[in-house]
Structure 1
Protein backbone atom coordinates (compact mmCIF):
# COMPACT_ATOMS: atom_id res chain seq x y z
CA UNK A 1 0.00 0.00 0.00
CA UNK A 2 2.95 2.30 0.55
CA UNK A 3 3.77 2.35 -3.19
CA UNK A 4 0.17 3.21 -4.07
CA UNK A 5 0.22 6.22 -1.76
CA UNK A 6 3.50 7.41 -3.25
CA UNK A 7 2.13 7.53 -6.82
CA UNK A 8 -1.13 9.09 -5.64
CA UNK A 9 0.83 11.95 -4.08
CA UNK A 10 2.75 12.64 -7.29
CA UNK A 11 0.44 13.39 -10.23
CA UNK A 12 3.33 13.40 -12.72
CA UNK A 13 4.30 9.82 -11.86
CA UNK A 14 0.64 8.83 -12.02
CA UNK A 15 0.32 10.38 -15.49
CA UNK A 16 3.54 8.76 -16.74
CA UNK A 17 2.39 5.38 -15.40
CA UNK A 18 -0.96 5.65 -17.18
CA UNK A 19 0.64 6.79 -20.44
CA UNK A 20 3.22 3.98 -20.43
CA UNK A 21 0.60 1.33 -19.62
CA UNK A 22 -1.66 2.64 -22.40
CA UNK A 23 1.16 2.81 -24.94
CA UNK A 24 2.26 -0.74 -24.14
CA UNK A 25 -1.34 -1.94 -24.56
CA UNK A 26 -1.56 -0.16 -27.93
CA UNK A 27 1.78 -1.63 -29.03
CA UNK A 28 0.68 -5.13 -28.03
CA UNK A 29 -2.57 -4.81 -29.97
CA UNK A 30 -0.67 -3.47 -32.98
CA UNK A 31 1.80 -6.36 -32.84
CA UNK A 32 -1.01 -8.91 -32.66
CA UNK A 33 -2.91 -7.31 -35.55
CA UNK A 34 0.28 -6.99 -37.59
CA UNK A 35 1.04 -10.67 -37.04
CA UNK A 36 -2.47 -11.65 -38.09
CA UNK A 37 -2.22 -9.43 -41.18
CA UNK A 38 1.12 -10.96 -42.14
CA UNK A 39 -0.38 -14.41 -41.73
CA UNK A 40 -3.26 -13.36 -43.96
CA UNK A 41 -0.91 -12.04 -46.62
CA UNK A 42 1.18 -15.21 -46.58
CA UNK A 43 -1.87 -17.46 -46.84
CA UNK A 44 -3.37 -15.31 -49.61
CA UNK A 45 -0.25 -15.74 -51.71
CA UNK A 46 -0.81 -13.07 -54.36
CA UNK A 47 -1.72 -9.59 -53.13
CA UNK A 48 -1.29 -6.00 -54.24
CA UNK A 49 1.59 -4.00 -52.76
CA UNK A 50 -0.70 -0.94 -52.72
CA UNK A 51 -2.66 -2.45 -49.82
CA UNK A 52 0.24 -2.46 -47.35
CA UNK A 53 0.57 1.28 -46.68
CA UNK A 54 -3.12 1.97 -45.96
CA UNK A 55 -3.31 -1.18 -43.85
CA UNK A 56 -0.30 -0.07 -41.79
CA UNK A 57 -1.95 3.32 -41.23
CA UNK A 58 -5.17 1.61 -40.13
CA UNK A 59 -3.24 -0.61 -37.70
CA UNK A 60 -1.48 2.47 -36.35
CA UNK A 61 -4.82 4.19 -35.82
CA UNK A 62 -6.25 1.17 -33.98
CA UNK A 63 -3.15 0.90 -31.81
CA UNK A 64 -3.19 4.61 -30.91
CA UNK A 65 -6.94 4.53 -30.24
CA UNK A 66 -6.42 1.59 -27.89
CA UNK A 67 -3.45 3.30 -26.24
CA UNK A 68 -5.51 6.43 -25.57
CA UNK A 69 -8.48 4.44 -24.30
CA UNK A 70 -6.40 2.35 -21.89
CA UNK A 71 -4.49 5.43 -20.72
CA UNK A 72 -7.74 7.20 -19.90
CA UNK A 73 -9.14 4.15 -18.12
CA UNK A 74 -6.01 3.91 -15.96
CA UNK A 75 -5.79 7.63 -15.17
CA UNK A 76 -9.55 8.42 -14.92
CA UNK A 77 -8.85 12.02 -15.95
CA UNK A 78 -7.51 14.27 -18.72
CA UNK A 79 -8.42 11.81 -21.46
CA UNK A 80 -7.66 14.06 -24.43
CA UNK A 81 -4.24 15.15 -23.21
CA UNK A 82 -3.07 11.81 -21.85
CA UNK A 83 -4.47 9.97 -24.87
CA UNK A 84 -2.66 12.31 -27.25
CA UNK A 85 0.61 11.81 -25.38
CA UNK A 86 0.18 8.03 -25.42
CA UNK A 87 -0.47 8.20 -29.18
CA UNK A 88 2.69 10.28 -29.57
CA UNK A 89 4.71 7.81 -27.49
CA UNK A 90 3.41 4.94 -29.60
CA UNK A 91 4.37 6.86 -32.77
CA UNK A 92 7.87 7.41 -31.39
CA UNK A 93 8.17 3.67 -30.77
CA UNK A 94 7.07 2.98 -34.37
CA UNK A 95 9.44 5.63 -35.72
CA UNK A 96 12.47 4.30 -33.84
CA UNK A 97 11.69 0.74 -34.89
CA UNK A 98 11.24 1.84 -38.49
CA UNK A 99 14.48 3.83 -38.54
CA UNK A 100 16.41 0.90 -37.06
CA UNK A 101 14.92 -1.56 -39.56
CA UNK A 102 15.12 0.47 -42.76
CA UNK A 103 17.85 3.10 -42.15
CA UNK A 104 16.00 5.47 -44.51
CA UNK A 105 15.31 9.12 -43.70
CA UNK A 106 11.98 10.23 -42.23
CA UNK A 107 9.40 10.93 -44.94
CA UNK A 108 6.28 13.06 -45.19
CA UNK A 109 4.12 10.01 -44.54
CA UNK A 110 5.76 9.71 -41.11
CA UNK A 111 4.56 13.22 -40.24
CA UNK A 112 1.07 12.34 -41.46
CA UNK A 113 1.14 9.13 -39.39
CA UNK A 114 2.25 11.11 -36.33
CA UNK A 115 -0.66 13.54 -36.65
CA UNK A 116 -3.16 10.74 -37.20
CA UNK A 117 -1.83 8.73 -34.24
CA UNK A 118 -1.91 11.74 -31.90
CA UNK A 119 -5.51 12.48 -32.92
CA UNK A 120 -6.47 8.81 -32.59
CA UNK A 121 -4.91 8.62 -29.14
CA UNK A 122 -6.78 11.77 -28.10
CA UNK A 123 -10.08 10.35 -29.37
CA UNK A 124 -9.40 7.07 -27.55
CA UNK A 125 -8.64 9.00 -24.37
CA UNK A 126 -11.83 11.02 -24.74
CA UNK A 127 -13.85 7.84 -25.18
CA UNK A 128 -12.09 6.15 -22.26
CA UNK A 129 -12.77 8.97 -19.82
CA UNK A 130 -16.40 9.40 -20.87
CA UNK A 131 -17.29 5.68 -21.02
CA UNK A 132 -19.43 4.77 -18.06
CA UNK A 133 -18.59 1.60 -16.18
CA UNK A 134 -21.28 -1.00 -15.67
CA UNK A 135 -22.63 -1.17 -12.14
CA UNK A 136 -22.82 -4.73 -10.84
Structure 2
Protein backbone atom coordinates (compact mmCIF):
# COMPACT_ATOMS: atom_id res chain seq x y z
CA UNK A 1 0.00 0.00 0.00
CA UNK A 2 2.79 2.43 0.86
CA UNK A 3 4.49 1.70 -2.42
CA UNK A 4 1.36 2.65 -4.42
CA UNK A 5 1.02 5.91 -2.47
CA UNK A 6 4.67 6.68 -3.08
CA UNK A 7 4.20 5.95 -6.77
CA UNK A 8 1.21 8.31 -6.96
CA UNK A 9 3.27 11.09 -5.38
CA UNK A 10 6.11 10.34 -7.79
CA UNK A 11 3.70 10.57 -10.76
CA UNK A 12 2.48 13.96 -9.60
CA UNK A 13 6.02 15.25 -9.42
CA UNK A 14 7.30 13.52 -12.56
CA UNK A 15 5.40 15.42 -15.19
CA UNK A 16 1.81 14.18 -15.22
CA UNK A 17 0.38 17.03 -13.17
CA UNK A 18 1.85 20.19 -11.78
CA UNK A 19 0.04 22.10 -9.05
CA UNK A 20 1.92 25.32 -9.79
CA UNK A 21 0.90 25.36 -13.47
CA UNK A 22 -2.68 24.51 -12.51
CA UNK A 23 -2.81 27.49 -10.14
CA UNK A 24 -1.09 29.68 -12.74
CA UNK A 25 -3.63 28.64 -15.37
CA UNK A 26 -6.55 29.46 -13.09
CA UNK A 27 -5.11 32.86 -12.15
CA UNK A 28 -4.42 33.79 -15.76
CA UNK A 29 -7.89 32.68 -16.82
CA UNK A 30 -9.49 34.91 -14.20
CA UNK A 31 -7.20 37.76 -15.28
CA UNK A 32 -8.74 37.26 -18.73
CA UNK A 33 -12.30 36.87 -17.47
CA UNK A 34 -12.51 39.89 -15.16
CA UNK A 35 -11.56 42.55 -17.75
CA UNK A 36 -13.94 40.95 -20.25
CA UNK A 37 -16.77 41.16 -17.73
CA UNK A 38 -15.85 44.80 -17.06
CA UNK A 39 -16.07 45.50 -20.80
CA UNK A 40 -19.49 43.83 -20.92
CA UNK A 41 -20.61 45.96 -17.98
CA UNK A 42 -19.40 49.08 -19.80
CA UNK A 43 -21.34 48.12 -22.93
CA UNK A 44 -24.46 47.48 -20.89
CA UNK A 45 -24.15 50.81 -19.14
CA UNK A 46 -23.28 53.10 -22.04
CA UNK A 47 -24.70 51.42 -25.15
CA UNK A 48 -27.91 49.80 -26.30
CA UNK A 49 -26.35 46.33 -26.26
CA UNK A 50 -29.25 43.86 -26.16
CA UNK A 51 -29.46 42.21 -22.76
CA UNK A 52 -30.59 38.93 -24.33
CA UNK A 53 -27.06 38.39 -25.73
CA UNK A 54 -25.30 39.02 -22.42
CA UNK A 55 -25.60 35.48 -21.04
CA UNK A 56 -24.21 34.10 -24.30
CA UNK A 57 -21.28 36.50 -24.12
CA UNK A 58 -20.61 35.54 -20.50
CA UNK A 59 -20.69 31.80 -21.27
CA UNK A 60 -18.38 32.20 -24.29
CA UNK A 61 -15.93 34.28 -22.23
CA UNK A 62 -16.00 31.71 -19.43
CA UNK A 63 -15.38 28.82 -21.82
CA UNK A 64 -12.52 30.65 -23.55
CA UNK A 65 -11.00 31.39 -20.15
CA UNK A 66 -11.18 27.73 -19.17
CA UNK A 67 -9.63 26.58 -22.46
CA UNK A 68 -6.80 29.08 -21.94
CA UNK A 69 -6.33 27.85 -18.35
CA UNK A 70 -6.26 24.22 -19.51
CA UNK A 71 -3.73 25.09 -22.19
CA UNK A 72 -1.46 26.90 -19.74
CA UNK A 73 -1.69 24.14 -17.15
CA UNK A 74 -0.75 21.42 -19.64
CA UNK A 75 1.88 23.03 -21.83
CA UNK A 76 4.75 22.12 -19.46
CA UNK A 77 3.73 18.59 -18.50
CA UNK A 78 4.80 15.42 -20.26
CA UNK A 79 1.45 13.65 -20.47
CA UNK A 80 -2.18 13.69 -19.37
CA UNK A 81 -2.86 17.25 -20.46
CA UNK A 82 -6.55 16.41 -20.54
CA UNK A 83 -6.39 15.63 -16.81
CA UNK A 84 -4.66 18.91 -15.97
CA UNK A 85 -7.21 20.77 -18.04
CA UNK A 86 -10.12 18.94 -16.44
CA UNK A 87 -8.80 19.79 -12.97
CA UNK A 88 -8.45 23.43 -13.97
CA UNK A 89 -11.95 23.50 -15.45
CA UNK A 90 -13.41 21.95 -12.31
CA UNK A 91 -11.61 24.36 -9.96
CA UNK A 92 -12.48 27.37 -12.14
CA UNK A 93 -16.17 26.46 -12.15
CA UNK A 94 -16.11 25.64 -8.43
CA UNK A 95 -14.69 29.09 -7.65
CA UNK A 96 -17.26 30.71 -9.94
CA UNK A 97 -20.05 28.74 -8.26
CA UNK A 98 -18.89 29.68 -4.77
CA UNK A 99 -18.59 33.39 -5.61
CA UNK A 100 -22.00 33.38 -7.29
CA UNK A 101 -23.56 31.48 -4.40
CA UNK A 102 -22.15 33.92 -1.86
CA UNK A 103 -23.31 36.96 -3.84
CA UNK A 104 -26.82 35.61 -4.40
CA UNK A 105 -26.96 33.74 -1.05
CA UNK A 106 -28.16 30.61 -2.78
CA UNK A 107 -26.06 27.45 -2.67
CA UNK A 108 -28.56 25.32 -4.55
CA UNK A 109 -27.14 22.71 -6.89
CA UNK A 110 -29.46 22.12 -9.80
CA UNK A 111 -29.17 20.71 -13.30
CA UNK A 112 -27.97 24.08 -14.67
CA UNK A 113 -25.04 24.11 -12.21
CA UNK A 114 -24.13 20.50 -13.01
CA UNK A 115 -24.29 21.11 -16.77
CA UNK A 116 -22.04 24.17 -16.47
CA UNK A 117 -19.63 22.18 -14.31
CA UNK A 118 -19.49 19.40 -16.92
CA UNK A 119 -18.98 21.94 -19.72
CA UNK A 120 -16.20 23.58 -17.68
CA UNK A 121 -14.43 20.27 -17.13
CA UNK A 122 -14.79 19.37 -20.81
CA UNK A 123 -13.51 22.79 -21.93
CA UNK A 124 -10.54 22.49 -19.60
CA UNK A 125 -9.79 19.04 -21.01
CA UNK A 126 -9.83 20.44 -24.54
CA UNK A 127 -7.44 23.19 -23.45
CA UNK A 128 -5.20 20.59 -21.82
CA UNK A 129 -5.15 18.49 -24.98
CA UNK A 130 -4.21 21.58 -26.98
CA UNK A 131 -1.52 22.48 -24.47
CA UNK A 132 0.12 19.06 -24.77
CA UNK A 133 -0.15 18.79 -28.54
CA UNK A 134 0.71 22.36 -29.57
CA UNK A 135 3.90 22.87 -27.57
CA UNK A 136 5.85 24.17 -30.51
Bin the TM-score by the shorter chain: 0.7 to 0.9
Matched, 1:12 2:12: yes
* Structure 2 stretches lacking a partner, 5+ long: 1-8
Cα 1:68–1:28, aligned 2, differ >3 Å: closer, same or farther? same
Matched, 1:30 2:33: yes
Partner in structure 1 of residue 130 of structure 2 = 127
Distance 1:10 1:40 in 2: 49
The match for 2:45 among 37, 42, 45 is 42
The match for 1:84 among 83, 86, 90 is 86
Distance 1:59 1:35 in 2: 12
CA offset digits 1:39-94 (Å, max 9, x no partner): 122121x3443222222211210111111011012434321010010011100110
* Structure 1 stretches lacking a partner, 5+ long: 1-8
TM-score by structure 1 length? 0.80
- Root-mean-square deviation over aligned CA pairs: 1.9
The alignment partner of 1:75 has SS state of coil
Aligned residues: 124
Q: 1:57 touches 1:113 (CA, 8 Å); kept in 2?
A: no
Distance 1:85 1:28 in 2: 18
TM-score by structure 2 length? 0.80
